[in-house]
Amino acid sequence: MDLFEKRAFAMALSLLLVFLGLIVYAAKGLQTDLPTCLPPETARQFRKDVGSVVEIGPNRYQVNVVAFMWGFNMGTVNELRVPRGAVVDFYVTSRDVMHGYHIERTPVNLMAIPGAVTYARHKFDEPGEYMIICHEYCGLGHQNMAGKIIVE
């Protein structure tokens, strides 16, 4: 390799490592991490409680979502109301085929896979309506599979 190639290589590598450093900082420092593999006992518990909202602390909620063709059961089907400023833990699985669970304007963006449980946490500071969109193909009714979260 000549000098220019070495420089280009070093610059590319440093750029990628800087990006990677920022990702790790965002994940571990700012706590914007991805869902991990839950201990099987914990995951099994959530699967038993699917379709429910549990208040686990002052303005903190755990929502156990089960997706199905074609809706989301979160205690009530396709609708969830939480107070402003609520911190909500979403645990998501599916009862039949694969589905998606994306709450617009938030980083809650999950895959509902039958047989596995995934999760995300979000604090709802802005009141309003947030659409929950199924973004994984799940049969001919897929395009109509959507719910909403109303932050009051």
Partner 1 sequence: MQAVQVRGAVRFIILSELVIPFLLLILGVALGLYQVLARAGILRTPDFLGINYYQGLTLHGVINAVVFTTFFAVAFGNALMLHQLQRPLRTGVQWVSWVLMVGGTLMAAWAMLTGRATVLYTFYLPMVAHWTFYVGAALLLVGSLVPFFFDWLPSVVAWRRENPNARLPLAVLGILITFTLWFLIFLPLATTVVFQMIPLSLGLIKETNVLLSRTLFWFFGHALVYFWLLPSYIMLYVMLPKVAGGKLYSDPAARFAFLLFLFFSIPVGLHHQYTEGGLSAGWKLWHAFLTFMVALPSFITAFTVAASLEHSGRVNGGRGLFGWMAKLPYWDVRGDKWLFPYFIAGLILFLAGGITGIVNASYNLNLIVHNTAWVVGHFHTTVGGLVTLSFLGMTLYLLTKLRGVDLKAKPLAMAAPYLWMVGFLIFEVALSITGLQGVPRRSNLGISYLDPNNELLYRPDWLFWSHVGALGGVIAVLGFVSYMVSFFGTLFAKPVRQPAVEFPIAEAIHDQPTPFVLNLRPWVVATLLLIAVSYTYPLYEAVARGTLANVPGYQSIGNNLVPMQALGEQTRLPQ
Positions touching partner 1 (CB under 8 A) are 1-2, 4-5, 8-9, 12-13, 16, 19-20, 23-24, 26-27, 32-38, 40, 43-44, 47-48, 50-51, 66, 69, 73, 92-93, 95-98, 100, 102, 104-105, 107-111, 113-120, 131, 133-140, 142-144, 146
Name the residue nearer to partner 1 (CB basis): 65 or 86. Answer: 65
CB of 63 to partner 1, least distance (A): 15
Name the residue nearer to partner 1 (CB basis): 32 or 56. Answer: 32
CB of 119 to partner 1, least distance (A): 7
Task: Count other Cβ atoms within 10 Å, centred on residue 102.
Answer: 17
CA distance 35 to 120: 7
Single out the residue of 56, 44, 30, 38 nearest to residue 110, CA to CA. Answer: 38
On the CB side of 59, CA atoms within 13 Å amount to 11
Name the residue nearer to partner 1 (CB basis): 57 or 140. Answer: 140
CA distance 122 to 75: 18
Say if residues 93 and 50 touch (Cβ distance below 8 Å). yes
Name the residue nearer to partner 1 (CB basis): 59 or 114. Answer: 114
